[in-house]
Amino acid sequence: MHSEHQFGLHKILSSEATVKTNPMESDGPERPAKCSWTRVSYPIPSQLLRDDGGDFSDNPLDDTGLDLSAIPEDFDKAHRTLSQQGCMEERWRRYCKAKLREQRADDKWRDPKHALCEASDNDIHWFLGWCLKLQQEKDCCHLKGTKKASSFKSDWQSFRQYYKKVTKSKMHDEDSTNVWWGIKFLIMEHGLDMQKGRKVPVYIEDMVPFNETILSTQEKKFWLGFKQIQVCLYNTLGLFTIHQKNALLSLQYKDLQFSLQKDPKGGPPIPLVELTAEGVKKFMGSTDLITFPLPEVIYGPLLVFCPHTYLFGMMFHAKAFQHSGLTSMAQLRKLFVRQGCQQMPMCLKHETADWYIFCETELVKGTPVIQHKKPMPKQKMGRLLVVFSKIHGWLHPLFSHQFRYGGGKTLNESGWVSEEQRMLIMKHADHHTFVEHYHPQTVSTDMIRTICSLNPEKELMRAVARQD
């Protein structure tokens, strides 16, 4: 028979439950009794009190690190967001110093953070108007000035984030409404452009001759021709994956997988590159990675718009494949997939995992060197596109978002891609995002022929809406 106090546990037996009744209540049907629970203190088992109760050497120390209060509020913000917020913070400090020079200045302007907590709607309105008059930054660099209403609204959003960071609370709706009314007045007073930017798409027929110009021009010199190859690869991946600039420029060797795929039609093996960009947009801290399988497609005899030409060339030059004998496309064409298998992977060396596809090129002791572990600055790729656009003869410089305009429109009108698939590729939450921000504003429908019930000139209308 088990002991009543076995393992240090007390067994509580209760055969009756005490029911409290109100003497003022009349007699009636009995109510179910309520159980009264008694809190019991259980003794610690003696096994846990022994010094040799077990080996706890594997238990981690309680050294988690920072307290919750010490974790920065903006540690997960994008670099561009932090840069814009820091710019507005610096401008607010300059504004406080300017207010202190005024006669009978309020003492609150001595401390920028205190001034922000005590700022009225008029103070914020005057500050935003003061920002529109700035001509120099802190380092005496000349400011181009705010020309677009959308840029001014972005400054307002960045200032609200700075306000929330300092005051630990959001701006009241009433205050936001009053300031927003003042923003509309400032836009009209300073004559800011309220129209959205041009959404001119680029298509494959635009980019093939553009890449030819990049590879053949003598008007722009580089220390290494590798830079021209990088720009051509950027153009091809931008059009074929519709990725944003940040995602493309953050590509590393570990984001690529190379293989030979068996041709279902019985032809020679097909080189395949699978691309998974980790630098895509993030929402609420989570990232849904999308893998783009890119089989080799021969488009044009010169192969200037084939991403495999550039990617495999980079891998061969860097000797990145684990198989030491794989150093050229001629050797790659001699390989075949084993019978009964669908693919033959071609793995890269582990030490090249953190190398960047779009890396920087620098002069080291007078010799140009490819810095594989140093990414190319985002502004540098934009400047290169502007330079080559002028050389190519385009009236307006090419910018990276045009790949999304043209690629998104092509997917939308192809009939092969569903709306859900297009939203997944472009990382959009709903259809309205594409219509509002990416669909070109130029109507590509041949209205006269359509209304006259004639066959529309699709090729002509496509050319009219393209990059000029």
Neighbours of 191 (CB within 10 A): 9
Residue 446 has a pLDDT of: 72
Neighbours of 32 (CB within 10 A): 7
Residue 14 has a pLDDT of: 40
CA distances from 300 to 36, 303, 304 (A): 86, 6, 8
Residue 51 has a pLDDT of: 52
| Residues whose CB falls within 8 Å of the CB of residue 160, separated by 6 or more in sequence, listed in order | 170, 171, 176
Backbone torsion region of residue 427, taken as left when φ is above 0, otherwise alpha when ψ lies between -120 and 50, otherwise beta: left
CA distance 272 to 240: 14
Residue-range domains of the chain with CATH: 77-189 (no CATH), 204-403 (1.10.443), 404-464 (no CATH)
Residue 413 has a pLDDT of: 83
Q: Do 304 and 215 meet the contact criterion of CB atoms below 8 Å apart? A: yes
Residue 8 has a pLDDT of: 42
DSSP bridge pairs for 276: 291
CA distance 200 to 408: 12
CA distance 404 to 239: 7
CA distance 222 to 228: 8
CB neighbour class for 35 (10 Å; exposed up to 12, middle 13-18, buried from 19): exposed
Residue 194 has a pLDDT of: 85
CA distance 358 to 230: 6
CB neighbour class for 22 (10 Å; exposed up to 12, middle 13-18, buried from 19): exposed
Sign of CA dihedral 219, 223, 225, 226: negative
The three-point CA angle 404-410-412 to 5° equals 95
Of 47, 46, 136, nearest to 91 by C-alpha is 136
CA distance 166 to 388: 44
In three-state secondary structure terms, 295 is strand
Q: Which amino acid is at 314?
A: M
Residue 3 has a pLDDT of: 44
- Chain-centroid distance of CA 150 in Å reads 20
CA distances from 383 to 307, 311, 387, 397 (A): 22, 22, 6, 10
Walk along the chain (468 residues) and give the pLDDT tens digit of each residue. 444 444 343 443 344 444 444 444 444 445 444 444 455 555 655 555 555 555 556 677 766 667 777 777 777 777 778 888 889 999 999 999 999 888 888 889 999 999 999 999 999 999 999 999 888 776 666 677 788 888 899 999 999 999 998 988 888 777 788 899 999 999 999 999 888 777 888 999 999 999 999 999 999 988 899 999 999 999 999 999 888 888 899 999 999 999 999 999 888 999 999 988 765 554 444 456 778 889 998 887 778 899 999 999 999 999 999 998 899 999 999 999 998 899 999 999 999 999 999 999 988 888 999 999 999 998 999 999 999 999 999 999 999 989 988 888 888 888 888 888 888 877 777 777 777 777 777 777 778 877 888 787 777 777 777 776
CA distance 276 to 238: 13
Of 350, 374, 378, nearest to 364 by C-alpha is 374
Instruction: Give the pair of three-digit tokens for residue 183.
Output: 């923003």
- Chain-centroid distance of CA 132 in Å reads 29
Residue 287 has a pLDDT of: 59
Instruction: Give the pair of three-digit tokens for residue 222.
Output: 């580089």
Residue 16 has a pLDDT of: 41
Return the axis-axis angle of helices 307-318 and 226-241, rounded to nearest 10°.
140
Of 163, 40, 33, nearest to 92 by C-alpha is 163
* Beta strand 270-276 pairing with 256-261: antiparallel
What stretch of H or E contains 436? helix 431-437
Residue 91 has a pLDDT of: 92
Return the residue matching tokens 């198989």.
323
Instruction: Give the pair of three-digit tokens for residue 349.
Output: 């060396």
Q: What does the DSSP assignment read for 101-119?
A: TSTT--GGGGSHHHHHHT-
CA distance 374 to 357: 10
Sign of CA dihedral 362, 237, 291, 309: negative
Terminal-residue alpha carbon distance, the chain: 96
